[in-house]
């Protein structure tokens, strides 16, 4: 309990510091106003697809995973990594970098704090609004979405956005391990972790785009209709 409180303090401190490159309001709207909305739409579609196939795909997969427990004892690390540990370490590390003379350290810590806090808030609201039963106990009604998957993918999204895929790929692998551990331990359904991953990534990239003033208003990707003989073609145009 004390450890969790300490993590919460570490994550909340930068919120009370001056905002870096974008206003709080813009950051809050960023999942919709930036190109991260494509992550939101894609992830939502995937979540719905998993739900629609629960009898033929999701349920058999979960039953097999829970019975075989392929992660074995290592799943405990997935549980730990999904409890804000990498997020807090990143904020602390970037804070130290800032005080050591690296200006980007503060900006990066701010992006991580906001992505973590906002995504966790969204997930918490959904948990206690939807109140889906947990797979291990129908009386516990806070299964959807997975909080562990949310914060793990918020971390991975920020790392990928800020540092590129050389560091982002291992971070995404770690987040996937966290999400899978929740299914392995019979704590969540597949659609719970897919939804959590969607929320985490959407907030991470949305806030990154907002802070860096990129991907705003859909200006980077445009769908362009092109008249041709007998009809119309649709082309995608990428501005950079």
Mean pLDDT, rounded, for 226-230: 47
For residue 150, which of 177, 113, 175 has the smallest C-alpha distance? 175
* Mean pLDDT, all residues of the chain: 85
- Write down the pLDDT at residue 15: 41
SS3 letters for 39-89? Answer: HHHHHHHHHHHHHHCHHHHHHHHHHHHHHHCCCHHHHHHHHHHCCCHHHHH
pLDDT at residue 171 greater than cutoff 80: yes
From CA 38, how far away is CA 47, in angstroms rounded?
Answer: 14
- Write down the pLDDT at residue 215: 57
- Write down the pLDDT at residue 213: 77
pLDDT at residue 23 greater than cutoff 80: no
pLDDT band with cut points at 50, 70 and 90 for residue 29 = confident
Q: How much of the chain exceeds pLDDT 90, in percent?
A: 74
pLDDT band with cut points at 50, 70 and 90 for residue 24 = confident
pLDDT one-digit tens code per residue, 180-221: 999 999 999 999 999 999 999 999 999 999 988 765 654 443
pLDDT one-digit tens code per residue, 37-88: 999 999 999 999 999 999 999 999 999 999 999 999 999 999 999 999 999 9
* DSSP string for residues in 131-182: -PPPSS-TT----SS-HHHHHHHHHHHHHHHHH-HHHHHHHHHHHHHHHHHH
Host H or E run for residue 218: none
pTM to 2 decimal places:
0.81
**17 or 191, greater pLDDT:** 191
pLDDT band with cut points at 50, 70 and 90 for residue 4 = very low
**238 or 132, greater pLDDT:** 132
Q: Would you give the distance in Å from CA 153 to the centre of its chain? A: 4
Q: Where are the domains of the chain?
A: 2-238
pLDDT band with cut points at 50, 70 and 90 for residue 240 = very low
């Amino acid at each position: 309990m004390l450890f969790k409180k300490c993590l919460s303090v570490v994550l909340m401190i930068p919120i009370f510091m001056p905002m870096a490159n974008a206003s709080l309001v813009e950051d809050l709207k960023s999942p919709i106003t930036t190109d991260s909305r494509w992550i939101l739409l894609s992830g939502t579609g995937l979540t719905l697809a998993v739900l629609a196939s629960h009898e033929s795909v999701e349920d058999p997969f979960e039953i097999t995973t829970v019975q075989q427990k392929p992660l074995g004892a290592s799943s405990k690390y997935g549980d730990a990594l999904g409890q804000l540990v990498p997020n807090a370490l990143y904020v602390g590390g970037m804070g130290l970098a800032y005080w050591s003379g690296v200006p980007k350290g503060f900006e990066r810590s701010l992006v991580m704090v906001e992505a973590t806090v906002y995504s966790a808030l969204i997930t918490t609201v959904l948990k206690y609004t939807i109140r889906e039963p947990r797979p291990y106990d129908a009386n516990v009604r806070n299964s959807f979405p997975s909080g562990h998957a949310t914060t793990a993918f918020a971390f991975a999204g920020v790392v990928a956005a800020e540092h590129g895929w050389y560091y982002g790929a291992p971070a995404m692998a770690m987040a996937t391990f966290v999400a899978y551990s929740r299914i392995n331990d019979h704590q969540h359904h597949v659609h719970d972790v897919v939804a959590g991953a969607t929320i985490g990534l959407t907030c991470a990239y949305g806030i990154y785009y907002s802070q860096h003033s990129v991907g705003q208003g859909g200006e980077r990707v445009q769908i362009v209709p092109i008249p041709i003989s007998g009809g119309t073609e649709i082309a995608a145009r990428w501005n950079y």
